[in-house]
Structure 1
Amino acid sequence: MTHDGTESDREALDLLIRGFQVSRMLRLVADLALADKIPRGGICNVSDLATACSVLPTPLLRVLRALAAFGVFRVGADGSVAHSPRSMLLRMDEPNSLHHGARFWTAPGSWQAWGALDSALAGGDPNQAAWGMGRFQYLREHPAEARTFDAFMANFPDRRHQTLAVSYDFSGAKLIVDIGGGNAEALRQILKRFPGPRGLVFDRDDVVAAIPPDARLDGRIEVRGGSFFDPVPEGADIYLLIRVLHNWSEDDCIRILRNCRNATKPGARLLIVEQIIEPDPALGQPSGYLVDTHMMAMFGAARERTETEFGELLQSAGFALERAIETASPVWIIEAGPR
């Protein structure tokens, strides 16, 4: 390798090592909703932005200059600030916005659990090591962060909810139950496209209580509190598990799937919406492996899975994997029926 190549790799690796610094600054400006305070196509003075954000102009300028060096915002020598294509993605009104991701990935719960990542290498749970409690208990005890999580799930940059609605034919269903359905965004996307079905969100009491009436499509979406480790609602034509199984160990996944199987009537379908991880990282996408490692940081034994591993889980729970549907999003739709 030439000296130039070695130096280039050294600089690239150095920036990767210090990536946490960039992540933290992105969260800072997202928490301030700063990108929304800069007009599209317009220019602001950093002093005016600081006033709008109730912060001091000099430290804000230093943060914005650092981000501009990575192509996030444009900052002039005179302290003027304008949008770049990347900073536009931090606006909340931008399609496929990364605003919620910037706030979620480095929120206190995630940030501190990643700091204890080494405990996973000894079979531990980093979130437990960091906080003395499991991830879901942490979210229950930190409701503001839990709502940040819900907003992030509804705006996850893989567009899985929109992609699910356009990639599968829900027209024949009368009732669709979204197990662990969060703030009901998936059902809203589906029911807006398909006028026939009704929807039911089944999730923790605190989660469904946070779904306002005006987000329930004039009553087409019902909510019910409960745990997927207990019996789930019966009688649906389609059950959804959207990014649920990657939160759990093998044994827990089988328990969740068996509860779904017990509720499933003949002819009904289970749709698992997850990334399918590529065993060879030379063929996969970096974001997939980052999500896989994040699951380890949050839950210890949780992880992304290959198509073969999903098939084995389903078989253990009384389902048969019928097909895996590739979508325009990183997530796949894994369709299963009762055996």
Structure 2
Amino acid sequence: MTNDEVEGDREALDLLIRGFQVSRMLRLVADLGLADKIPRDGSRTVSELAADCAVLATPLLRVLRALAAFGVFRLDMDGSVWHSPRSLWLRTDAPNSLHYGARFWSAPGSWKAWGMLDVALTGGVPHEAAWSTGRFQYLREHADEARGFDAFMANFPDRRHEAIAASFDFSTAKRIVDVGAGNGEALHHILARFPAARGVVFDREDVVAAIAPQALADGRIDFEGGSFFERVPEGGDIYLIVRVLHNWPDTECVQILRNCRAAMASDARLLVVEQIIEPDPARGRPAGYLVDMQMMAMFGTARERTIPEFDELFERSGFTRQRVIATGSPVSVIEALPR
């Protein structure tokens, strides 16, 4: 390797080491809603933005200058701030906006848990070590973060919701039960494509209570609160579980799946939507491994899984995998039938 290549690797690693600093600055500007305050094709001065955000201009300038060095916003020498291609993704009106991710990934609950990541290596749960409580109980006690989590799931930048609706034929579905559905974003995309179907959003009572009435989709979606560890609604011909199982260790996953199996008729189908982890990191996508690490930080042994690991869960819970459907997103749709 040449000296320039060696130095380039050193600098790249140095920036990775300090990546938490960039994450925290991105959360700061997202919390301020700053990207929405800059016109798509125009500029604002730092002083104007500071006044709009009720903060001091000098520290805001320093934050924007640092972010601009990473290609997030453009900053002219006269103090004018413009959007860059990257900062446009921080606008809340951007499709699959990254505004919600900038606020979620380094929100207090995650931020403090990642600071305790080392306890996972000796069998502990970082989130519990940081907060003395489990992740979902923490969200129940911190409503602002919980709603931020719901918004992030609805705007997750992998375009999973559109991809699910586009990749599977729901035309024969009459009643789709979305288990652990959050605010029902996946169902909204599915019902928009398949007008004959109806849906049920099933999630915790506090999650369901926070869903806006307009999310009923003109009466085509019902909301039902409860715990999927105890039961799931009966009467669906498709049971949909989107990015839920990766939140739980194997034993809890089997319990969720068994409850789905108990609610299902023999001709119903189960669709598990997850990002399948690639065992070889040389072939995988970095973002997938970061999600796997997030699961470790939040839940300890919860994780992303390989296809053989999903097959084991199905075997233990009364299902047989039929096929794996790739989508236009990092997630795949795993179809399974009751045994």
Give the TM-score taking structure 1 as reference length: 0.99
* Within-5 A mapping of 1:250-289: 250-289=250-289
Cα distance, 1:95 vs structure 2: 1.1
Q: Aligned AA for 1:83?
A: H
2:209 is matched with: 209
Structure 1 residue matching 2:320: 3-state secondary structure: strand
* Within-5 A mapping of 1:319-330: 319-330=319-330
1:241 is matched with: 241
Tell me how far apart the structure 1 counterparts of residues 16 and 81 of structure 2 sit (CA, whole Å): 26
Cα distance, 1:78 vs structure 2: 1.0
| Cα RMSD, aligned residues only | 0.6
1:67 is matched with: 67
2:108 is matched with: 108
Cα distance, 1:41 vs structure 2: 0.7
Cα distance, 1:2 vs structure 2: 2.8
* Within-5 A mapping of 1:9-88: 9-88=9-88
Q: Aligned AA for 1:61?
A: L
1:177 is matched with: 177
1:227 is matched with: 227
Q: Aligned AA for 2:221?
A: I
Tell me how far apart the structure 2 counterparts of residues 54 and 331 of structure 1 sit (CA, whole Å): 40
Structure 2 residue matching 1:324: 3-state secondary structure: strand
Cα distance, 1:195 vs structure 2: 0.7
Tell me how far apart the structure 2 counterparts of residues 251 and 184 of structure 1 sit (CA, whole Å): 26
Structure 2 residue matching 1:208: 3-state secondary structure: helix
Q: Percent identity?
A: 71
Unpaired runs of at least 5, structure 2: none
Tell me how far apart the structure 1 counterparts of residues 123 and 317 of structure 2 sit (CA, whole Å): 25
Q: Aligned AA for 1:46?
A: V
Provide Cα deviations, 1:259-298, integer angstroms capped at 9, x if missing partner.
1111110111000000001000000000000000000000
Structure 1 residue matching 2:24: 3-state secondary structure: helix
Tell me how far apart the structure 2 counterparts of residues 213 and 126 of structure 1 sit (CA, whole Å): 36
1:121 is matched with: 121
Runs of 4 or more consecutive aligned structure 1 residues displaced over 6 Å after TM superposition: none
Cα distance, 1:8 vs structure 2: 1.0
* Within-5 A mapping of 1:282-301: 282-301=282-301
1:317 is matched with: 317
Tell me how far apart the structure 2 counterparts of residues 35 and 5 of structure 1 sit (CA, whole Å): 35
Q: Aligned AA for 2:141?
A: E
1:193 is matched with: 193
Provide Cα deviations, 1:136-174, integer angstroms capped at 9, x if missing partner.
000000000000000000000011111111111111111
Q: Aligned AA for 1:229?
A: F
Provide Cα deviations, 1:77-108, integer angstroms capped at 9, x if missing partner.
11110000000000000112100000000000
Structure 2 residue matching 1:89: 3-state secondary structure: helix
Cα distance, 1:205 vs structure 2: 0.3
Tell me how far apart the structure 2 counterparts of residues 181 and 229 of structure 1 sit (CA, whole Å): 14
Tell me how far apart the structure 2 counterparts of residues 291 and 195 of structure 1 sit (CA, whole Å): 33
Q: Aligned AA for 1:294?
A: Q
Cα distance, 1:45 vs structure 2: 0.7
Unpaired runs of at least 5, structure 1: none
Tell me how far apart the structure 2 counterparts of residues 109 and 199 of structure 1 sit (CA, whole Å): 31
Structure 2 residue matching 1:49: 3-state secondary structure: helix
Structure 2 residue matching 1:280: 3-state secondary structure: coil
Provide Cα deviations, 1:231-272, integer angstroms capped at 9, x if missing partner.
111110000110000000011111111111111101110000
1:164 is matched with: 164
Tell me how far apart the structure 2 counterparts of residues 123 and 249 of structure 1 sit (CA, whole Å): 13
Structure 2 residue matching 1:278: 3-state secondary structure: coil
Structure 2 residue matching 1:133: 3-state secondary structure: coil
Pairing 1:333–2:333 present: yes
Tell me how far apart the structure 2 counterparts of residues 6 and 173 of structure 1 sit (CA, whole Å): 57
Q: Aligned AA for 2:303?
A: R
Cα distance, 1:3 vs structure 2: 2.2
Provide Cα deviations, 1:37-88, integer angstroms capped at 9, x if missing partner.
0001101111001111111111000000000000000001111100000000
Q: Aligned AA for 1:176?
A: I
2:7 is matched with: 7
Structure 1 residue matching 2:90: 3-state secondary structure: coil
Tell me how far apart the structure 2 counterparts of residues 71 and 102 of structure 1 sit (CA, whole Å): 15
Structure 2 residue matching 1:228: 3-state secondary structure: coil
Tell me how far apart the structure 2 counterparts of residues 327 and 245 of structure 1 sit (CA, whole Å): 18
Cα distance, 1:331 vs structure 2: 0.3
